């Protein structure tokens, strides 16, 4: 099998570390790993296949000889560096929101729309974490019954904000146990023992940017006719996003048929036996690649209504895994040579 030179931009971040770990765990054919980050992190190292690999600066000239560059460095960095990487010969898989809604850039979940990769022009966008897991679950339902409308409420882990948010939740717990004042710096309110209906900035329509990502990305990836009504909530969980999803379809279904359909769909693990208290939680998804689905039940208040509960590791399928799967799909479709 041919091997490839792979750069990870933002290698020192939480998602960057997860990307490197995922490349190794999945046996991606890496001949040389090129970890890249800001100048302040040059000289530090990451662990890959039992060896320490030095971090270099992400800048012009760093992508020469790179076959695929997986980015998790934030939108501003991606806007500047992704075109440079493409000009130097790399295919870019970008985890930020910078390129997602660009009409010339494919936005891809490999289980949902791998064919979109065929039209790439050098940059491929990784969708938002909450969108990815929702669409993995909805794709087979849409193919069989045609999804018309989705009402989704997310319960998103603090790791979606990054390392500082993880530390804040830990520090708040320590302060509470010690009887000290609980300080909030990363989030506008205390996250410990709390749920914040606020992810990213509020827009003029009253929705947050995170919520509108789910609306717009669903239309681009799955079907522009699907209507999405989202509420995004941050909860005091370290890792793993959960979603309550209400779906209305065009065609009638039975819950048993939907369950069977999901059980044989790629990337999905069904945990749905309420009589035995079997349903997925964030802890079940921690460190796992699957998108977990449970609490399947008919919604009797609307025609062809379905409720489901969807859980996934936001650092894995919501970020690192999906990006690596995109690179794997490029190889499978003979788009990475």
Token pair 């100048």 is found at: 39
**125 DSSP β-pair partners:** 94, 107
Token pair 């794709």 is found at: 139
In 3D, which of 260, 221, 229 has the Cα closest to residue 152? 229
One DSSP character per residue, 120-174 reads -SSEEEPPPHHHHHHHHHHHHHHHHH-EEEEEEEEEE-GGGT-HHHHHHHHHHHH
Catalytic-role residue among 17, 120, 129, 142: 129
Beta strands in the chain, from DSSP E residues, in sequence order = 4-9, 30-37, 45-48, 51-54, 56-57, 68-71, 91-94, 123-125, 147-156, 195-196, 227-235, 241-249, 268-270, 291-299, 305-312
| Annotation marks residue 241 as catalytic | yes
Token pair 């993880």 is found at: 166
Catalytic-role residue among 17, 120, 142, 241: 241
In the DSSP assignment, the letter for residue 320 is I
Catalytic residues: 129, 241
């Amino acid at each position: 099998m041919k091997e490839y030179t792979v750069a990870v931009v933002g290698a020192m971040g939480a998602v960057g570390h997860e990307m490197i770990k995922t490349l190794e765990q999945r046996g991606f054919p890496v001949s040389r790993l090129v970890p890249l980050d800001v100048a302040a992190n040059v000289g530090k190292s990451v662990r890959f296949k039992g060896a320490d690999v030095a971090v270099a600066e992400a800048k012009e000239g760093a992508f020469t000889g790179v076959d695929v560059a997986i980015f998790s460095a934030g939108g501003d960095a991606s806007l500047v560096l992704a075109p440079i990487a493409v000009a130097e010969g790399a295919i870019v898989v970008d985890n930020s929101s910078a390129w997602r809604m660009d009409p010339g850039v494919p936005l891809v979940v490999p289980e949902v729309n791998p064919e979109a990769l065929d039209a790439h022009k050098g940059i491929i966008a990784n969708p938002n974490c909450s969108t990815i897991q929702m669409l993995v679950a909805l794709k087979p339902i849409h193919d069989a019954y045609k999804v018309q409308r989705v009402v989704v409420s997310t319960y998103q882990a603090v790791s979606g904000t990054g390392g500082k948010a993880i530390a804040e939740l830990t520090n708040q717990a320590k302060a509470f146990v010690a009887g000290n004042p609980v300080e909030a710096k990363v989030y506008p309110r205390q996250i410990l023992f709390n749920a914040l209906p606020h992810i990213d900035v509020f827009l003029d329509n009253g929705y947050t940017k995170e919520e509108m990502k789910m609306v717009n990305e669903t239309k681009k990836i799955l079907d522009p006719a699907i209507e999405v009504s989202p509420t995004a909530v941050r909860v005091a969980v370290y890792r793993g996003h959960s979603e309550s999803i209400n779906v209305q379809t065009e065609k009638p279904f039975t819950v048993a048929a939907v369950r069977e359909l999901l059980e044989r769909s790629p990337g999905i693990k069904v945990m749905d036996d309420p009589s035995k208290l079997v349903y997925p939680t964030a802890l079940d998804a921690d460190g796992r690649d699957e998108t977990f689905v449970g609490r399947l039940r008919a919604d009797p208040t609307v025609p062809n209504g379905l409720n489901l509960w969807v859980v996934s590791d936001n650092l894995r399928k919501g970020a690192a895994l999906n990006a690596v799967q995109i690179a794997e799909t490029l190889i499978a479709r003979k788009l990475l040579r």
